[in-house]
Structure 1
Amino acid sequence: MATRYAGIAWTGAGYRVEVLDGAGLAAAEPSSWGGAQVAELIAWLRDLSREQPTAVVLDSTNGLLDGPMTAAGLEVYRADPWQLPPRPGFGSVPAGQLAERARSAPGALARVTAEGGSLTGRAEEFFEGVRRSEPIRAELQAAGRWFEHGRRDVDRVALTFDDGPDPVHTRQVLEILDRYGVLATFFCVGHHVTALPDEVRRIAAAGHELGNHSWSHPYLPDLTADQLREQLDRTAAAVARVTGRAPTRFRPPYGALSTGLPTALEGHPATLTMFDVDSRDWTRPGSEQIAATVLTAARPGSVVLMHEGAGDRGQTVRALPSIIEGLLERGLEPVTVGELEAPPHHDPQLKG
């Protein structure tokens, strides 16, 4: 049976979907979906796939949908910038162009897997980028705009959660944190902030710290400095509208840096906030493994990366009590990133 191609574009308001058949003709009416309607969008796509095989096509500036869609069993592909026409200053390539690219050259696109995540097929490029980004890191450190971990002689650890807010998992995480009386830092994406403002208010009201995690979770090397700045500014404004205060920390999606990052940060009150413990919960290895990964690597001053949005984060929720209890048993107090004291730069043993 011939495959249909569903291109999904993102905008400031939500998602736009266009579906083409093998001949390039519209196979469904174009549709628009709000940022809070991801579950409904996935259900609709699954229904399409039951009728006829349907490949979902995203581009690399959209890192919010592949996780929940692969978890739902959908066939998801990523189109990269060199395969597409130029993007607008804000937003992705139009949905119809994404669908047409997949239809006309299906073998050229990377199929996204749960194990490989949004950057499936670009791992070598990513790690090469990490190696080549040392000057960017040095520049930001020199400007006092880089934070990776706190002092190693103070028994505090920062738990951080990326990609939210989420209509289900954010509230579950907040309930667990409240049960143990600990605070955390939530790096939110603007797309979800505008869709779920009540969840953002809930985070802020509980005393947790809010950070900026871009608007659409793009791979930063694929953006110009102006496009990145637009993502930063719009997300900061969205958080400020909801809470009355703009975030002062920015975490780049995937922890990826770009040559345009220092320029994008000029005049922007945001400290680049990284991490030194990766829970790898996005691979969904099981709650016990997530807890073990964190507790094995965490030490005084650590910043722990976890996720509560943009996918099925049930394993992270189930792992969280064990993580908190394990840290407390070792005398490590979970706090916000802002409560970690920066390490002394003169100490060669301390990075960050």
Structure 2
Amino acid sequence: MKNDEPTVGRRVLLRTAVFLGVAAAAGLVTSGGEGLPGTPAPGSGPAAGPGPNPAAGAPGALSRGLPEKAYRLRPMTAEAPARPPAVKPAVRTRPIESLPTDPGTAGADAMVLTFDDGPDPRYTPGILDVLARYGVRAVFFVCGEMADENRDLLRRMVAEGHVIGNHTWTHPLIPKLSRPALVSEIGRTSDVVRQAVGEAPVWFRAPYGAWNRAAFEIGAELGMEPLAWTVDSLDWTEPGTTAIVSRILKGAAPGVVVLSHDAGGDRSQSVRAISSYLPQLLARGYRMTLPVLPTAQPG
């Protein structure tokens, strides 16, 4: 072997080392990870592809068995966007009193019959019988204390296609109640209806038509729209069957909401009256319908 062969070999090794050093500095060569905890020995697994160095804590380190910082293992709840607050129902400043009456709308030839204060087993079944005879549906604004004792009548109402509304628990004068008392009056009634028929009321009516801000707010919070009336039959005064019939027929008009009662006193006149005025209204071309929840912005 010639004397200069070792020298040439050393020169090749030095050039190779310099090249590798420059390449490593330029990022062209990466470490195989040998000696790091949990890293497979060479040849024991698939070759690592190009990408960030796992040893630097980059994504993918955990899947390769490298230790991850604890904060990377916890959900970033502090960084997550906050959930938007629940949107409260719009609160009305006055109740709905009639149906839309523009030509072509559902209320153009329609009226709504409503009955308050029940259900009463002495009178409500008679009214339901007349409604069923003519295939008509109505709205029954029930008082919780009556509904609680007559849940079978609530179930009959729903089975026959009628709508149940909330008329408070004891029929109080709302403006004289504290807010907690009013919450109880309205909330308990909705609870009883929901327990009996599976759904809470979506309509609310203030006893005596005595509304206040709290009634609108609480009703809205429970998902109910306030419905008043256009024509008061005054049947609660027990004026006689003829007077009740006359008043309703005189007030009949497109979009009208009629107020009658099926409890709260002797309502035998109300039962006889509906047997008379209902077929007359139908003969005049009116349709007895149910109110539809409005889609327009409440006012």
TM over 0.5: yes
Q: Which residue of 2 aligns with 1:224?
A: 178
Asked if 1:316 corresponds to 2:270, the answer is: yes
Q: Deviations over 1:282-328 (max 9, x none)?
A: 00111111011011012101110000012110000000022112211
Q: CA deviation at 1:337?
A: 2.4
The CA distance in 1 between the partners of 2:175 and 2:98, in whole Å, is 24
Asked if 1:244 corresponds to 2:198, the answer is: yes
Asked if 1:148 corresponds to 2:97, the answer is: yes
Q: CA deviation at 1:146?
A: 3.3
Change (3 A) 1:234 1:297: same
The alignment's C-alpha RMSD in Å is 2.2
Q: Deviations over 1:56-87 (max 9, x none)?
A: xxxxxxxxxxxxxxxxxxxxxxxxxxxxxxxx
From 181, 198, 209, give the equivalent of 2:152: 198
Tell me which amino acid in the other structure corresponds to 1:148.
E
Q: Percent identity?
A: 40
Q: Which residue of 1 aligns with 2:215?
A: 261
- Given that 2:182 and 2:215 are in contact with CA atoms closer than 8 Å, whether structure 1 keeps it comes out as yes
Tell me which amino acid in the other structure corresponds to 1:283.
T
- Given that 1:184 and 1:337 are in contact with CA atoms closer than 8 Å, whether structure 2 keeps it comes out as no
The CA distance in 2 between the partners of 1:319 and 1:288, in whole Å, is 7
Q: CA deviation at 1:200?
A: 1.0
- Given that 2:216 and 2:226 are in contact with CA atoms closer than 8 Å, whether structure 1 keeps it comes out as no
The CA distance in 1 between the partners of 2:248 and 2:296, in whole Å, is 25
Q: CA deviation at 1:344?
A: 8.0
Matches within 5 A, 1:71-150: 140-141=92-93, 146-150=95-99
- Given that 1:161 and 1:305 are in contact with CA atoms closer than 8 Å, whether structure 2 keeps it comes out as yes
Q: SS of the residue aligned with 1:164?
A: coil
Asked if 1:280 corresponds to 2:234, the answer is: yes
Q: Deviations over 1:175-228 (max 9, x none)?
A: 000011111010000001111111111111111000000000000111012211
Q: Which residue of 2 aligns with 1:235?
A: 189
- Given that 1:221 and 1:259 are in contact with CA atoms closer than 8 Å, whether structure 2 keeps it comes out as no
The CA distance in 2 between the partners of 1:160 and 1:254, in whole Å, is 14
From 312, 315, 328, give the equivalent of 2:282: 328
Gaps of 5+ in 2: 1-90, 103-107
Q: Which residue of 1 aligns with 2:58?
A: none
Q: CA deviation at 1:163?
A: 0.3
Tell me which amino acid in the other structure corresponds to 1:333.
R
Tell me which amino acid in the other structure corresponds to 1:213.
H
Larger Rg computed on CA atoms: 2
- Given that 1:151 and 1:344 are in contact with CA atoms closer than 8 Å, whether structure 2 keeps it comes out as no
Q: Which residue of 2 aligns with 1:297?
A: 251
Tell me which amino acid in the other structure corresponds to 1:222.
K
Q: Which residue of 2 aligns with 1:133?
A: none
Instruction: Give the alignment's TM-score, normalised by structure 2.
Output: 0.65
- Given that 1:147 and 1:342 are in contact with CA atoms closer than 8 Å, whether structure 2 keeps it comes out as no
Q: CA deviation at 1:165?
A: 0.3
Q: Which residue of 2 aligns with 1:49?
A: none
Tell me which amino acid in the other structure corresponds to 2:171.
H
Q: Deviations over 1:151-189 (max 9, x none)?
A: 224100000000000011110000000011111010000
Q: SS of the residue aligned with 1:146?
A: coil
Change (3 A) 1:159 1:266: closer
Q: SS of the residue aligned with 1:217?
A: coil
Tell me which amino acid in the other structure corresponds to 2:127.
V
Q: CA deviation at 1:343?
A: 10
| More strand by percentage | 1
Aligned length: 205
The CA distance in 2 between the partners of 1:293 and 1:222, in whole Å, is 31
The CA distance in 1 between the partners of 2:152 and 2:172, in whole Å, is 24
Gaps of 5+ in 1: 1-138, 346-351
Tell me which amino acid in the other structure corresponds to 1:163.
D
Change (3 A) 1:147 1:179: same
The CA distance in 2 between the partners of 1:305 and 1:230, in whole Å, is 25
